[in-house]
Amino acid sequence: MMEKTLNISSKIDNLRVVEKLIDEISTVCNLSSEIYGNILIATLEAANNAIMHGNKLDESKLVNINCIIVESELKISVKDQGPGFDFASIPDPTAPENIENINGRGVFLMEKLSDKINFLENGSRVELIFKI
């Protein structure tokens, strides 16, 4: 078992710190480039959503990222200090009326790239699960 925790203030620049964390996990677990890419993109989307939407770029608010590896599974939890959101009402970005929207693909990407996704604590915490 391995566990790593990261707390970052709500600045877009801090996504680099998140990327470094995923790089470390990738090295320790000797991940394939495909799995690494999926984990990196999904985790950066979750962290970006937490910074932008959850904490509204308020640098006094933190985003907590917790990674736990147990056997062949990696669980990444990303928690913001926002009120949460109704994850059931997110529009489908692949629907014809949404296809040209610039935003709205983050959750869709996280769902496609992870093996399992859970929205917890009213949507203020997202848990990404990857088989590694």
Contact 77, 66 (CB under 8 A): yes
- Over range 80-89, report the average pLDDT: 92
Domains for the chain: give ranges and CATH numbers.
Answer: 2-131 (3.30.565.10)
Q: What is the pLDDT of residues 3-60, one digit of tens each?
A: 999 999 999 999 999 999 999 999 999 999 999 999 999 999 999 999 999 999 999 9
pLDDT above 90: percentage of residues in the chain: 83
pTM of the predicted structure, to 2 decimals: 0.95
pLDDT interval class at 99 (50, 70, 90): confident
How far is the first Cα of the chain from the last one, in angstroms, to the nearest whole number? 13
Inter-CA distances, 9 with 15, 60, 72, Å: 10, 6, 30
Q: Which residue has the tokens 């590694």?
A: 132
Instruction: Look up residue 69 and give its DSSP letter.
Output: E
> Quick one: pLDDT at residue 101?
80
